[in-house]
Amino acid sequence: MKVIEITDYCKRYDGVAAVEGVTLKVEYGELFGLIGPDGAGKTTLLRAICTLLTPDEGKILVMGKDVTQSIMDIRSLVGYMPQRFSLYQDLSVEQNLRFFADLFGVTEGKRERRLLQLFEFSRLAPFKKRKAGELSGGMKQKLSLSCALIHTPEILVLDEPTYGVDPISRQEFWEILRSIQKEKTTILVSTAYMDEADLCDRVALMHQGKITMVGTPEKIKASFHYHLYRLEGKDVRFLRDFFQKLPSVRSTQLFGDTVHVSFCKKPALSDWKNWQRDSRGNLKRWASQPPSMEDVFMESTEKER
C-alpha cells in the first residue's frame, strides 16, 4: 500500500492554478522531498494532504483513505508542521506540547513517555518553562516538530521546515528527521533549498504547479544528459555572456564566482584553446563537474520556456 497517493490533483485560486494535475506516490517509510522554488505549489499540495484543502479535481489517498472523506482519521495519522511558526507564543514549551497531546487524545501514560522522548531529541528540556515566543529560531523549529510528533503519527508532513534557519541548525534538523525515519515514520518534506534534496531518499521537482521529475537524487542527477563544466576566470559575467552565444552550449548558470556551462557535445581540448583565445584571456580554468540538483532543476525549468 502506498502511504500517500495523489492522482491528477488540481487546485485553483480565483481561476489561477496553484497545483495543476499532480500525480505522486509516497512509499512507506521513505523520506520524500518536494523540491521547488517559492510559488511552485508545494504548500498547497501539502495542505491538501493534511485535509486542509479540498481538491478542484483529482484525488488524494492517505493510507488508502480519501482526504475529503476520512478527515478525522487522517488527522490522527498525520503530523503537520506548517511553514510559519504557528504555536501559542504566550504559552510555555511544555504547555504547548501538553495542549496538542490533549487535542490528539494522547493518553496520560503515553504522553509522559512521549514528552521524554521528544525532549531527548530536541534537547528542549532545559527550556520547557520558557514561553514559545521567546525561543530562538532553531528551537522554535524543534518545538514545532515536537508538536507535530506528539501523537506519534505514521506520516510526518513538513512545509519548508528549515526556512530561515542557520546552517548548523539545519544540519541538526535533518539529522533529527533521519532518526525519526528510523522509527518507521514516513516523512514528506518540502524545501526550496536544492542542496537538501540530496538528503532525501526520493525527491519530486516541482515548478509552476507541476511535477517535472521524480526519483532518487542520484537518478535525477544521472538524467542530466549534457556535459557540465565549471569555469573560472577574471570576469564571470563576461564569461557567461560569451558562452551563452555559442551554438554548442545548452545553458549557462552563475554559481558564485564560477560559471556552470552545459554542452550538448563534449568539447575537445582544441575547443577550449580557441575559447580561451576568443574570450580575450578571461577564461582561466575549466573542469568537468558532476551535475548538482540545482543544475538539474534549472535545466528542467529551461525546457518549460
Q: Residue 109, interface with other proteins (CB under 8 A)?
A: no
What are the backbone angles phi and psi of residue 101, rounded to the nearest 5°?
-60, -45
Residue 164: exposure state from Cβ atoms within 10 A (0-12, 13-18, ≥19): exposed
Q: Residue 260, interface with other proteins (CB under 8 A)?
A: no
State which of residues 95, 152, 181, 300 lies at the interface with other proteins (CB under 8 A).
95
Alpha carbons within 13 A on the beta-carbon side of 113: 7
State which of residues 23, 39, 64, 102 lies at the interface with other proteins (CB under 8 A).
102
Q: Residue 82, interface with other proteins (CB under 8 A)?
A: yes
Binding piece for other proteins, criterion CB under 8 A, among 46-54, 161-169, 178-186, 238-246 = 46-54
Q: Comparing C-alpha atoms, which of 165, 103, 92 is closest to residue 125? A: 92
**Cβ-based nearer residue to other proteins, 93 or 147:** 147
**Cβ-based nearer residue to other proteins, 95 or 253:** 95
Binding piece for other proteins, criterion CB under 8 A, among 12-20, 24-32, 95-103, 275-283 = 95-103
Q: Residue 89, interface with other proteins (CB under 8 A)?
A: yes
Q: Residue 147, interface with other proteins (CB under 8 A)?
A: yes
Q: Comparing C-alpha atoms, which of 29, 42, 10, 17 is closest to residue 193? A: 42
Q: Residue 187, interface with other proteins (CB under 8 A)?
A: no
Q: Residue 155, interface with other proteins (CB under 8 A)?
A: no
Q: Which residue has the cell 498547497?
A: 44
Pure H helices in the chain: 42-49, 71-77, 93-103, 108-122, 137-149, 167-182, 217-222, 236-244, 269-278, 293-304
How far apart CA 203 and CA 110 sit, in angstroms, is 33
Binding site for other proteins (CB under 8 A): 50-52, 72, 75-76, 78, 80, 82, 84-91, 95, 99-100, 102-105, 147
